[in-house]
Chain A
């Protein structure tokens, strides 16, 4: 069965610093992979997705993610975080009609 692991439950980062959120998946074939962001009290918004082609994917709000098949990873990065990036981030993998989410990483941005 497929699974998605986000090893970091909580990350604190200073404004202007770089951010990397980890995501590991377990899946037999090449998966469809997604990163979503949930701001406080809001629904989920898609940041970016990967399902084929270039393994470095650009998304909205200055985020990017890199698919590494050998490591079964799809880590999310941002070179310089803004206070508005404080939110919860979810990695997800699609297969057979289902979208499986990781448990999420809460990002806190300090001044």
Chain B
């Protein structure tokens, strides 16, 4: 089954404790992206990757890191989480967004930073 998986689905952590949210897709997609969703703000892009070893900042990259060492995986790293990073996070992938291909979204990771 074609899908985007994220782990963990729920995470409660404390300020400053490094964490990684994994994202994996099995569709051989070139493009992958991370978003955060906050009430009243919709989804805002954190980082995106056009291909392996190619990443770029989205609209809200501060406090986040990503890497794209292999095509299928695109982990999101919070080196020192803060309470304002409490949010719902979505990973997405697409064959080629430049041609208007559909983005497939993962189920989301709800992160709480206390």
Which residues of A line the B interface, CB within 8 A? Answer: 6, 9, 32, 42-46, 49, 51, 90, 92, 94, 97-104
Nearest-neighbour CB distance to chain B for A22, whole angstroms, equals: 14
| Chain B residues whose C-beta falls within 8 Å of the C-beta of A101 in the assembled complex | 35, 42-44
Tell me the chain B residues, 6-46 only, with Cβ under 8 Å from chain A.
33, 35, 40-45
**How many pairs of A and B residues are in contact by the CB < 8 Å rule?**
53
Complex alpha-carbon distance, A92 and B103, angstroms: 11
Nearest-neighbour CB distance to chain B for A77, whole angstroms, equals: 20
| Chain B residues whose C-beta falls within 8 Å of the C-beta of A6 in the assembled complex | 42
Looking at the complex, which one of B40, B42, B45 makes contact with A98 (CB distance below 8 Å)? B45
Nearest-neighbour CB distance to chain B for A87, whole angstroms, equals: 14
Looking at the complex, which one of B42, B90, B98, B102 makes contact with A103 (CB distance below 8 Å)? B42
Q: Is the CB of A42 within 8 A of B107?
A: yes
Given contacts A97-B50, A99-B97, contact A44 B105 (CB under 8 A): yes
Complex alpha-carbon distance, A86 and B40, angstroms: 17
| Chain A residues whose C-beta falls within 8 Å of the C-beta of B99 in the assembled complex | 51
Q: Is the CB of A97 within 8 A of B97?
A: yes
| Chain A residues whose C-beta falls within 8 Å of the C-beta of B33 in the assembled complex | 99
Complex alpha-carbon distance, A88 and B90, angstroms: 15
Complex alpha-carbon distance, A109 and B48, angstroms: 35
Tell me the chain B residues, 69-114 only, with Cβ under 8 Å from chain A.
90, 92, 97-100, 102-103, 105-108
Q: Is the CB of B97 within 8 A of A94?
A: yes
Q: Is the CB of B48 within 8 A of A97?
A: yes
Given contacts A43-B105, A44-B105, A99-B45, contact A94 B40 (CB under 8 A): no
Nearest-neighbour CB distance to chain B for A16, whole angstroms, equals: 28
Given contacts A99-B33, A101-B44, contact A43 B102 (CB under 8 A): no
| Chain B residues whose C-beta falls within 8 Å of the C-beta of A97 in the assembled complex | 48, 50, 56, 97-98
Given contacts A9-B40, A99-B33, contact A49 B102 (CB under 8 A): yes
Kindly report which residue of chain A lies nearest to residue B49, judged by CB atoms: A97
Given contacts A42-B107, A49-B102, contact A100 B45 (CB under 8 A): yes
